[in-house]
Structure 1
Amino acid sequence: MASSQESHPAQQRAPVAEYVAESLRTLPAGSSFSVRVVYTADHAVDSLTPRRPLSHFHAESTYSRRILAFVLQGGCLVAGLEAHEFTTLRIEAQGAQPPRTCVAVDCCIEKLDSSGELAGRMPMARALVAGYLRSLHRYSAALSVPSVGVHMFARAQPEYLFAKSKDNPRKRILGDLDLVKWWQSTLHHALEYGARPAPDQSKLPSVHPVANCIVPGSTMLESPWFFGKDRPSGAGLENRNASGSCAESSLSVEWRWGLPYPLSARAHDCVLQFPDDPITRLLSEAHSSAWSVSALLDMLSVSEECGSGHRTAYFSASLPLCPDIGALAGAIANCGTASQGHLSFEDYDKILVVLFDQAMDFSSTASALSSSSRLMGYLDSSFDIPFIDVETTGPATSADRTRAPKPQEPPAVNDLSTMVRKRRKVVS
Structure 2
Amino acid sequence: MASTASLRDHLLHGLRDIPGTREFHIHVLVSSPRKFQGLYPFAQPRPRSYLQDILILLSEQSTPDSPRIFTTAIEACVHNVPTTSCAIFYVSKVDTTGQSTSPSPAAALVRSLLIYYSDPVTRPVSADHLWIHLFARAQSQYLFPNSADFSGKRPLSDVKLCAWWKRVLTEVADAVSARAHAKSIIKLYYVLPGYSQLEAEHSLRRAAASATSSDATGPSWTYGHPYSQTEIPLPCPVPTPHPQQNLGHFIPSFDDDPKSRFMDEIACTPDAEGIRSPPRKRMRTVLHSNDADVPKEAAAEKERHGGKEERILGELGKVSPDEFWERMSFRQECVAGAVTGFFVAGISCPSPPSVPGASPLAPLPGQVSCQLNKRVLSSLMTGLEFSTVERSIKATETLESAIKGLCEGIAAVPTSRTTHTRDAADRRTPEPEPSRALLAPPSTPPRRGTAYVADVSPNPFPEPVTSLETYHSHIYGSVCVSNVARPSKHGEDAGPSSELAPQVTVLAVRKKKKRVD
What TM-score, normalized to structure 2? 0.62
| Residues 26-175 of structure 1 aligned to structure 2 (within 5 Å) | 26-54=17-45, 60-74=47-61, 75-90=68-83, 102-119=84-101, 121-137=102-118, 144-175=126-157
> What is the deviation of 1:194?
4.6
Compute the displacement of 1:27 (Å): 0.8
Q: Structure 1 residues 298 and 196, CA, compared in 2 at 3 Å: closer, same or farther?
A: same
In the TM superposition, what is the alpha-carbon distance from 1:153 to its structure 2 partner? 0.5
1:375 matched to 2:399? The reply is: yes
Distance 1:249 1:390, change over 3 A: closer
Helix, strand or coil at the partner of 1:317:
strand
- How far 1:320 sits from its partner (Å)? 4.5
Within the alignment, does 1:350 sit opposite 2:375 as a pair?
Answer: yes
Q: 1:224 aligns with which of 189, 193, 201?
A: 201
Quote how far apart the aligned CAs of 1:137 are.
4.9
Do the aligned partners of 2:190 and 2:343 also contact (CA within 8 Å) in 1?
Answer: yes
Instruction: For residue 332 of structure 2, give the secondary structure of its aligned residue in structure 1.
Output: coil
> Which residue in the other structure is 2:386 paired with?
362
**1:390 aligned to 476, 479, 485, which one?**
479
Would the aligned equivalents of 1:114 and 1:162 in 2 still touch at CA under 8 Å? yes
Report the TM-score, using the length of structure 1 for normalisation.
Answer: 0.74
Matching residue's letter, 1:257 = Y
Q: In structure 2, how many angstroms separate the alpha carbons of the residues matched to 1:171 and 1:291?
A: 42
Post-superposition Cα deviations, 1:45-100, rounded to whole Å, max 9, x if no partner, equal: 1152222234xxxx83110000011111022111111111000122xxxxxxxxxx
Secondary structure of the residue that 1:136 maps to in structure 2?
helix
CA change 1:392–1:299 in 2 (3 A) is: same
| Change over 3 Å in CA distance of 1:309–1:184 after alignment to 2 | same
Aligned residues of 1:103 and 1:145 also touching (Cα < 8 A): yes
Please state whether the residue corresponding to 2:21 is helix, strand or coil: coil
Could you list the runs of 4 or more consecutive aligned residues of structure 1 that deviate by over 6 angstroms after TM superposition?
246-249
* Cα deviation, residue 393, structure 1: 5.3
SS, match of residue 377 in structure 1: helix
Shift of 1:322: 7.4
* Change beyond 3 A, Cα 1:49–1:260: same
**Structure 1 residue 139: Cα displacement:** 5.9
Q: Does 1:182 align with 2:148?
A: no
Report deviation, 1:231: 1.1
Equivalent position amino acid for 1:154 in 2: A
Deviation at 1:387, TM superposition (A): 1.4
1:300 maps to: 328
What letter corresponds to residue 15 of structure 1 in structure 2?
S
Q: How many equivalent residue pairs? A: 355
Question: Among residues 2, 6, 31, which one is paired with 1:15 in the alignment?
Answer: 6
Match of 1:96 in 2: none
Instruction: Say which SS state the counterpart of residue 154 (structure 2) adopts.
Output: coil
- Find the aligned partners of 2:227 and 2:156 in 1 and give their Cα distance: 30
**1:4 corresponds to which residue?**
none
Root-mean-square deviation over aligned CA pairs: 3.4
- Call closer, same or farther: CA 1:293–1:406 in 2, change over 3 Å: closer
List per-residue Cα deviations over 1:112-161 (Å, max 9, x = no partner). 01111102x11411101111012215765655533311110011111111
- Paired residue type of 2:477: I
Match of 1:339 among 341, 363, 366: 363
- Over 3 Å counting, the alpha-carbon distance change for 1:378 and 1:406 in structure 2 is closer
Larger Rg computed on CA atoms: 2
Retained in 2: the 8 A contact 1:39–1:68? yes
Q: In structure 2, how many angstroms separate the alpha carbons of the residues matched to 1:336 and 1:24?
A: 30
Secondary structure at the residue paired with 1:378? helix
CA spacing shift, 1:247–1:127, aligned 2, 3 Å: closer
* Partner SS, residue 334 of structure 2: coil
Change (3 A) 1:29 1:232: closer
Q: How does 1:198-213 map to 2 (within 5 A)?
A: 204-205=181-182, 207=184, 209-213=186-190
**Runs of 5+ consecutive residues of structure 2 not aligned to the other structure:** 62-67, 230-244, 270-314, 408-467, 491-502, 510-517
Opposite residue 278 of structure 1, the aligned amino acid is P
Alpha-carbon distance in 2 for matches of 1:396, 1:296? 47
Q: Which has the higher strand share?
A: 1
Question: Percentage identity across aligned positions?
Answer: 21
Structure 2 vs 1, CA of residues 25 and 43 (structure 1 numbering), >3 Å: closer, same or farther?
same
Indicate which of 204, 207, 221 corresponds to 1:255.
221
User: Does structure 1 retain, via aligned residues, the 8 Å contact 2:185–2:349?
Assistant: no
Secondary structure (helix, strand or coil) at the match of 1:338 reads coil
1:389 partner letter: S
1:14-73 alpha-carbon deviations (Å, 9 max, x no partner): 82211111111121142211111011010111152222234xxxx831100000111110
Distance 1:406 1:53, change over 3 A: closer
1:356 aligned counterpart, secondary structure? helix
